[in-house]
Structure 1
Amino acid sequence: MLKTLLISMLLVGTLSGAAHASDTVDLTDESKARIRQTLTEQGYEVGKTKIEDGLYEAYARKDGAKLEVFLNAAFEVVRTERDD
Structure 2
Amino acid sequence: MATYEYDCPRCGRFETRQPMGTAADSHTCPTCLGNAHRVFSAPHLNAVPEQLSAALAREERSRAEPEVVTEVPDSPSRLRP
Structure 1 and Structure 2 fold alike (TM over 0.5): no
Name the TM tier (shorter chain).
Answer: under 0.3
Q: Which has the larger radius of gyration?
A: 2
The structure richer in strand per residue is: 1
The structure richer in helix per residue is: 1
TM-score (norm 1): 0.22
